[in-house]
Amino acid sequence: MATEAAAAPLPIPAKEVRRASAGLWSDAVWRLRHDPTTLVAMAVMVLFVLVALGADFLAANFFHRAFSQQDILSAYDKPSAEEPWRWFGTDELGRSSVVRLLYGARVSLFIGGFGALTAFVIGITAGLTAGFFRGRWDDLIVWLVTTLNSIPTLYLLLIIGILWRLEPLPFALLLGGLGWLGICNFSRGQTIALREREYVLAARTVGCGPIRLMARHIAPNILPLMIVLAMIEVGQLILTESAISFIGFGIQPPTPSWGNMLTNATQYLSKAPWLIYPPGIAVVITVLCLYLVGDGLRDALDPRLRGAIGAKR
Amino acid sequence: MGRFIARRLIQAIPTLFGVLLITFLLSRLSPADPVKLMLAGNSEVTVEDRQRLMDALGLNDPLPLQFVKWLWQLAHGDFGQSIYYHRPALDLILERIPNSLQLSLLALLITLIVGVPLGVIAALRRGHVEDHAIRVVSVAGHAIPQFWLGLIFVLTFAVQNRWFPIGSMNVVGEDCTFCWDRVWHLMGPVLVLSIAGIANLPRILRTEVLEVISQDYVRTARSKGLKENVVVAVHILRNALIPVVTSFGGILVIFIGGSLIIERVFNWPGLGRLTFEAAVSKDYPVVQAGVVISSVLLIFSYLLRDITYAWVDPRIKVR
């Protein structure tokens, strides 16, 4: 934007012609289109999701290896550029690290995404209703949030991991069921502030019921920020999943996840050190991009930053 | 102050109750049958014997009664016997806690020593290279999994180069708390833990400093000719640090929760590794005690945080 202004001949043409006045969402899209960092991060995320979804296709047609295909003769092979499936080396059974990474992406991204969706739904429902109705219900929710906040998540997951062996879907639900606290706290606080506003009172006086008040008058105002929080939650859950799978109480082999690939890698640390890099770097890039997208979305969606284009921060 | 502490202590009771309730319910929902485990390999047991054993263990009582009985046991410090070590679970845990605290307190100290200057620099040099660099570091610190960072550390500095020990607290045969050997062993885990804190603290402090910097009293301090160092240290930092105290809660969560992973990576004999090893060998009483005690530690650190907050900012007490 700064370059545009610099290149423009004097007198400077009216700036506002560049777009029609817009609603929240189209405005956000306009803003995002002018934010290269966020766009790059989004593109990387889209690429990761596509690669994860197309894991079967890529494994069969490009790498010519299944994720569980063993080849003892080429065990502990260093990464090499010869054939695509050797790009990231092989593990102790001669399985291709890069193909396993693709399938791991599938599990990790699914758990992060679906878990965050669960957390979003629970968190916003609990937060909205608690902040709106207050009273006993509010006390109950606050108690639940404080309690769950007081148990270290990994310890809780450990105890659950001993008792049940979880498949990716229940595991995602479980992580979502533990990850809604932040979203709940935030939406509850916002709701408490918003329910005292005049327009809510006005809606109430014309006879809106509580559900309509929450859904039509309060929720739209807190939704954008909650989407940002959910985005960041995806990254958090991917980190949690990798940590608990790493110590062996999350996703169990043979299903590869980035976390349990690292468990495997630690056992052969001196023999095949290259195995610990790909899953770790995949987690870092994913979480980093999710943070950047979340950050960019917040700037794009937060109405309080309106009119401060170009003077971001 | 005494009244505030008392009120805060009372508020912690329902939380503790919730933690115990969840832990209890999880153990009862378990598909593993304790009687079956006890009688494993014994084929001469009749159905009546089983029933009598169930009765003796109180497993036929209604759930609420079992819960109350369990609470009564806990109140007497009885967390059950470790199946693996044949010792009271609580004793095992209490032995390990000092080791874990060593890690988290040192990591907290390093977080403060490094994080506070970084936060102030980021705010004072807002929009400059330093600010952006610190922002990048903190975002990266959030995105890198702690345990992976630990693994890289072990691989690079312990396996490929023998600069640091691979794990544990002391070299075999040596057993000391205040010696070079311990410092040498502490470095890896403390460094990795504190990076998580350093990712957090500067961002929070930066916001606070920016808030304080535009206050009238800061302008007054400057206009009466005080040196910039004095303005920063006395007028800005003292006020900006108050809300930062609350962020300690979050940082302690990371340290206490992270202990499970870090102690596994660095083979550090603390609460986390004990709980993990107990989980591997299905030593349920120890795992349960580990979860309860780590939660109690967490509740206690929240309490300590709130008391510190009220102490540095007396306005809080009124609320």
CA closest to B27 among chain A residues: A163
The reported pLDDT for the residue numbered B172 is: 64
The predicted complex's ipTM stands at 0.83
Q: Which residues of chain B make contact with A152, given a CB cutoff of 8 A?
A: 253, 256-257, 260, 291, 294-295, 298
Best mutation target among A45, A48, A108, A147 (most B Cβ atoms within 10 Å) is A147
The reported pLDDT for the residue numbered B137 is: 84
Q: What is the mean pLDDT of chain B?
A: 82
Residues B309 and B302 sit within 8 Å (Cβ to Cβ): no
Q: What is the pLDDT of residues B257-301, one digit of tens each?
A: 778 888 888 888 888 888 888 888 877 888 888 889 889 888 888
Cβ separation A151–B19 shorter than 8 A: yes
Phi (first) and psi of residue A126, to 5 degrees: -65, -45
Cβ separation B143–A287 shorter than 8 A: yes
- Please tell me if residue A311 touches chain B, with a CB cutoff of 8 Å: no
The reported pLDDT for the residue numbered A75 is: 64
The reported pLDDT for the residue numbered A115 is: 93
CA distance B143 to chain A (A): 5
Question: What gap in Å lies between CA B297 and CA B260, rounded to an integer?
Answer: 14
Tell whether the model's pLDDT for residue B199 goes beyond 80.
yes
Share above pLDDT 90 across residues of chain B, in percent, rounded to a whole number: 3
- Please tell me if residue B111 touches chain A, with a CB cutoff of 8 Å: no
Tell whether the model's pLDDT for residue B11 goes beyond 70.
yes
The reported pLDDT for the residue numbered A279 is: 85
Overall average pLDDT of the B220-228 stretch: 87
Select the more confidently predicted residue: B27 or B231. Answer: B231
Q: What is the pLDDT of residues B104-137, one digit of tens each?
A: 888 888 988 998 889 888 888 888 888 888 888 8
Cβ separation A163–B31 shorter than 8 A: yes
The reported pLDDT for the residue numbered A2 is: 45
- Please tell me if residue B14 touches chain A, with a CB cutoff of 8 Å: yes
Q: Which residues of chain A make contact with B273, given a CB cutoff of 8 A?
A: none
- Please tell me if residue A155 touches chain B, with a CB cutoff of 8 Å: yes
Best mutation target among B151, B159, B288 (most A Cβ atoms within 10 Å) is B151
Cβ separation A163–B140 shorter than 8 A: no
Class of residue A135 by CB neighbours under 10 A (exposed 0-12, middle 13-18, buried 19+): exposed
Cβ separation B152–A280 shorter than 8 A: yes
DSSP state letters, A93-154: T--BHHHHHHHHHHHHHHHHHHHHHHHHHHHHHHHHHHHHH-HHHHHHHHHHHHHHHHS-HH
CA closest to A148 among chain B residues: B19
The reported pLDDT for the residue numbered B244 is: 79
Which of B1-10, B62-71, B156-165 has the least mean pLDDT? B156-165
Question: What gap in Å lies between CA A275 and CA A258, rounded to an integer?
Answer: 11
Whole-model pTM?
0.84
Select the more confidently predicted residue: B184 or A197. Answer: A197
Cβ separation B155–A151 shorter than 8 A: no
- Please tell me if residue B140 touches chain A, with a CB cutoff of 8 Å: yes
- Please tell me if residue B290 touches chain A, with a CB cutoff of 8 Å: yes
Average pLDDT per consecutive 10 residues, chain A (313 residues; last block may be shorter): 48 52 72 79 86 74 68 67 68 71 86 92 92 90 90 87 83 89 90 88 89 87 85 89 86 81 78 80 89 82 50 33
Cβ separation A235–B295 shorter than 8 A: no
Give me the residue from B26, B155, B261 closest to A269, CB to CB.
Answer: B155
Residues B16 and B296 sit within 8 Å (Cβ to Cβ): yes
- Please tell me if residue A292 touches chain B, with a CB cutoff of 8 Å: yes
Calculate the alpha carbon distances from B161 to A81, A97, A146, A306, B199 in Å.
27, 25, 45, 53, 27
